[in-house]
Amino acid sequence: MATSWITGVCLRQNRLEWTTLRRTKEAWEIAGQGREEWPPADGDAGWISAAAIKPLLKRLKGRISVALPTDRALLRVALLPSTDAAELRGMAELQTDKFSPFPVETVAAGAEVLESAGTSSLVAMGVVRREDVEAVGQAFHGAGAPPDAVDVEILGWWWGLKHSGKIPTHGSQIVLRADSAGVEMAVVRDGAPLAFRALPGYPPDGAEAARAEWLEACAEEVADSLTALETEWGGAGLPTLHFFHETGFPLECAETLKTALGLEALFAHALDELPTASEGVARRLAEPARPLALDLAPEAWRTADAERRTRRKLLRAATVFLVAWLLAIGIFWTLLNLQRGRMARLRAQVESMEGPALEIRKLRAKTLEFAQYADRTRSALECLRVVSETLPEGVDLTTYVYRKGASLSLRGESDAPDKVYSFIQALEQTALFPEVKSEGISTRNTPQGARSQFGAALVLPGTGAEDEP
């Protein structure tokens, strides 16, 4: 997910200016701005410290781009014969080696495309001392707000100037930005910047002699720049002077500069007509990825930043997983405790019902026993009655064996076998005996003549084959 906060910071030796942008659905909007000042350090050592930044941590949100003062950078603009980012990067490195007076191992360099047309690109190249970048890194890391990019202040100011519509898109202009911290210059031709540089700072005491000396130095610096640009880019007539100043800055200085440079036109503007330089620095970082954009931060910073972002993502993912796991465990234990409570209540109900259930079972057994005892439908007498009623004339029973609740065993004889068959069939048709098993018929001679002897087994209801599964 894209970062929703970006902060641009402009550093001076005794001042820090910041702007924080917040991402909305429509665009990046200003969420906060401010300026903090502190006593200047002696000399160049310790010009920025973690102690100065730490009180501002709550305001410096999201990704941070820190812009070095313009007077600590060398900037050059060149027209390079390519529009390919890789080729332009290589060309810019060669150009940087030519115009930089410092050993390559002691500097941090970068470049960005200002404009592209046809087969060429207008490229701004910047060089700063590596120790200045490291000082910024140490200060912000020490304060707990590691920067994501290192910019140059005048490029943030140029972003605001370009988007303000204050500069004509034709002709030649000298644009000066003057405030209590210093003076910066951009030379513009047909809307494109050809030079960026810092001019000598306005003397703090404001004495007449100091002011005259400052004006002379500024006029000399501007004249030298115009001469160099005319040599490189050709003449373009007298430029117009645009002077952006803080409230209270003496405007007569601008008139004096115009006269000293032999210029014909001067336009004075209040500096608050433009976005702040820190806003420009923030919006430069917020712009969609460009093929070649100036960033003086060491590669190690970007690697560390990528690792830091990866750790944050992993930490967020681990946190989400842990919360989900704890939530699942909580739900599981809640359900388990509910189930345990339910089981305990059921066990208590069962235990409370065991005594009455046992009494009911005993009572039921007694009831069944009593009912069985009282039921005479399968008694020996009842069975004898049914057998006697079905006994044909001429058939005599010799044996009658009653097994309570189970069966009857009959033995007998007859003067004719067909009477025996009739007797057995009659027994099968009674409702009392669901099963009648003949045990065979045999004939025996007696003094009274031939006699048929037989046996039969009668099964009572509730026993025998019909109860088997």
Between CA 467 and CA 419 the distance in angstroms is 31
Q: What pLDDT is recorded for position 113?
A: 94
Find the Cα–Cα–Cα–Cα dihedral 385, 390, 396, 400, rounded to 10°.
Answer: -40
Between CA 175 and CA 214 the distance in angstroms is 18
Share of the chain above pLDDT 70, in %: 92
Q: What pLDDT is recorded for position 247?
A: 82
**Mean pLDDT (whole number) for 213-242:** 88
Of the CA atoms within 13 Å of residue 81, those in its CB half-sphere come to 0
Instruction: Decide the pairing of beta strands 28-37 and 15-23.
Output: antiparallel
Which of 241, 228, 68 has the alpha carbon at shortest distance from 155? 68
Instruction: Decide the pairing of beta strands 73-80 and 172-179.
Output: unpaired
On whether the CB atoms of residues 174 and 281 are closer than 8 A, the answer is: no
On whether the CB atoms of residues 297 and 133 are closer than 8 A, the answer is: yes
3-state secondary structure of 284: helix
Give tens-digit pLDDT for 319-338: 898 999 999 999 999 998 99
On whether the CB atoms of residues 69 and 198 are closer than 8 A, the answer is: yes
**Mean pLDDT (whole number) for 218-244:** 89
How many residues belong to the chain?
A: 469
Give tens-digit pLDDT for 9-42: 998 877 889 999 999 888 899 999 999 887 665 5
**Considering the entire predicted model, what is its pTM?**
0.66
3-state secondary structure of 357: helix
442 DSSP β-pair partners: 453
Residue 468's pLDDT band (boundaries 50, 70, 90)?
very low
* Mutual angle of helices 277-286 and 153-164, in 10-degree steps: 90
**Mean pLDDT (whole number) for 51-80:** 90
Between CA 162 and CA 114 the distance in angstroms is 11
Residue pointed to by tokens 């235990």: 351
Residue with the bigger pLDDT between 90 and 445: it is 90
236 DSSP β-pair partners: none
Which of 366, 70, 302 has the alpha carbon at shortest distance from 198? 70
Residue 376's pLDDT band (boundaries 50, 70, 90)?
low
On whether the CB atoms of residues 91 and 83 are closer than 8 A, the answer is: no
Q: What pLDDT is recorded for position 15?
A: 83
Between CA 321 and CA 315 the distance in angstroms is 10
Q: Give 94-147 as a DSSP string.
A: HHHHHH--S-GGGEEEEEEEEEEETTEEEEEEEEEEHHHHHHHHHHHHHHT---
Which of 158, 157, 203 has the alpha carbon at shortest distance from 180? 203
Give tens-digit pLDDT for 289-318: 788 899 999 887 767 666 776 777 888 888
Between CA 26 and CA 105 the distance in angstroms is 43
Q: Is it the case that residue 61 has pLDDT exceeding 60?
A: yes
All structural domains of the chain with their residue ranges: 302-374, 380-467
CATH of domain 380-467: 3.30.1360.100
3-state secondary structure of 239: coil
Q: What pLDDT is recorded for position 73?
A: 93
Between CA 16 and CA 18 the distance in angstroms is 7
Which of 202, 161, 209, 197 has the alpha carbon at shortest distance from 180? 202
Q: What pLDDT is recorded for position 419?
A: 85
